[in-house]
Amino acid sequence: MKPPRTSLEQWAVLAAVVDEGGYAQAAAALHRSQPAVSYAVARLQEALGVELLAIEGRKAVLTAVGDTLLKRARSVLMDVEALERLAKTLKQGWEAELRLVVDFAFPRQRLLAILGELKELCPQTQIQLTGAVLSGAEDAIVDGSADVVLATRVPPGFLGDWLMDVPFSAVAERNHPLFALGRPLTTGDLGKHTQAVVRDTGRNPRDEGWLGSPLRWTVPAMDSALAVVRAGFAYAWLPEHVIAEAGQEGALQPLPLAAGGTRKVPIYVVLVRPQTAGPAARAALELFQRHAAV
């Protein structure tokens, strides 16, 4: 086998130039000089015999060939990163860090119980917990930026286990004008009032559920949506566990919709890199499966 004419370092530098938007920015991010960054990219293009980058204005952008090659290179870089992380895991026993991404729909009390058990199992492992909504969790799976992810969908090319269906209910503050209509509500009724929607945290946000109201408030998290609804500013579909945990004591009431007042959102757990997953990631997977079954 002939030795490769390019190096992983050169591909990593190219990725940095693209991600940071230019040679100077990549040099700052990589803590290198700009000439060193430019030289690495030039040598890469020379070895391949193709142009990978073009300058548009002050920004370096990929050519069509460069875009195709860098996509493959990113996959290789991710594999090498996973290999190095596995070596570190095997040396230390437990992972130094466990990255969890959890969709906000997952019940908080169950999550806290799982985190408590993880703390007992691997006290030296640093847990990086990130909340996500809809496609934000899927992005973490595709990007490989997490070890264990709870998502409402499993992206193509990955395997996940169904954990539970989280019930959502359409609710409003008990004095909301919609209740004064005294009859089953239609989409026309809802469209005249403000709806609170939790923002999709993904790069390509998608709409799910009924979003027909032109009067829409987009908020960053379930807690924010709950606060807006409790204040009487809007109605929303909220997880029933979020409503219950808030101890509403009747402050919120289910909207009498003619149809669609309740819906269920599936939650899946994905071990992002099963071949190289360490004991903490596998323990987290098992705990999510066990607690979801309760």
Residue 193 maps to a domain: yes
Q: Are residues 85 and 223 in the same domain?
A: no
Q: Are residues 132 and 179 in the same domain?
A: yes
Q: Are residues 150 and 266 in the same domain?
A: yes
Q: Are residues 66 and 102 in the same domain?
A: no
Q: Are residues 124 and 17 in the same domain?
A: no
Task: Say how far apart CA 239 and CA 104 lie, in whole Å.
Answer: 9
Q: Are residues 75 and 117 in the same domain?
A: no
Per-residue pLDDT of the chain (294 residues; tens, 9 = 90+): 677 889 999 999 999 999 888 899 999 999 999 999 999 999 999 999 999 988 887 777 899 999 999 999 998 998 888 778 767 766 667 888 999 999 999 999 999 999 999 999 988 889 999 998 888 899 999 999 999 999 999 999 999 999 999 999 999 999 999 999 999 999 899 989 999 988 888 877 666 655 666 788 989 888 899 999 999 999 999 999 888 866 566 788 999 999 988 999 999 999 999 988 889 999 999 999 998 876
Looking at 89, 105, 126, the residue that finishes a domain is 89
CATH assignment of the domain containing 191: 3.40.190.290
The answer to whether residues 287 and 118 touch, using CB atoms and an 8 Å cutoff, is yes
- Model pLDDT, residue 58: 74
What does residue 167 show for φ and ψ, rounded to 5 degrees? -75, 135
Q: Are residues 191 and 107 in the same domain?
A: yes
Output the CA–CA distances (angstroms, integers) from residue 196 to 38, 156, 245, in the order listed. Answer: 48, 30, 19
Task: Say how far apart CA 55 and CA 279 lie, in whole Å.
Answer: 45
Q: Are residues 133 and 52 in the same domain?
A: no
Task: Say how far apart CA 180 and CA 253 lie, in whole Å.
Answer: 13
Q: Domain limits at 81? A: 8-89
Dihedral sign for Cα atoms in the order 201, 204, 205, 206: negative
Residue 78 maps to a domain: yes
> How many other β-carbons are positioned within 10 Å of the β-carbon of residue 167?
13
Q: Are residues 27 and 57 in the same domain?
A: yes
CATH assignment of the domain containing 44: 1.10.10.10
Helix (H, G, I), strand (E, B) or coil at 115: helix
Residue 41 maps to a domain: yes
- Model pLDDT, residue 184: 94
Q: Are residues 212 and 101 in the same domain?
A: yes
> How many other β-carbons are positioned within 10 Å of the β-carbon of residue 4?
8
Q: Are residues 143 and 103 in the same domain?
A: yes
Q: Are residues 81 and 98 in the same domain?
A: no
Residue 3 maps to a domain: no
Task: Say how far apart CA 147 and CA 128 lie, in whole Å.
Answer: 10
Looking at 89, 109, 141, the residue that finishes a domain is 89
How many domains would you assign to the chain? 2
- Model pLDDT, residue 56: 81
Looking at 89, 104, 125, the residue that finishes a domain is 89
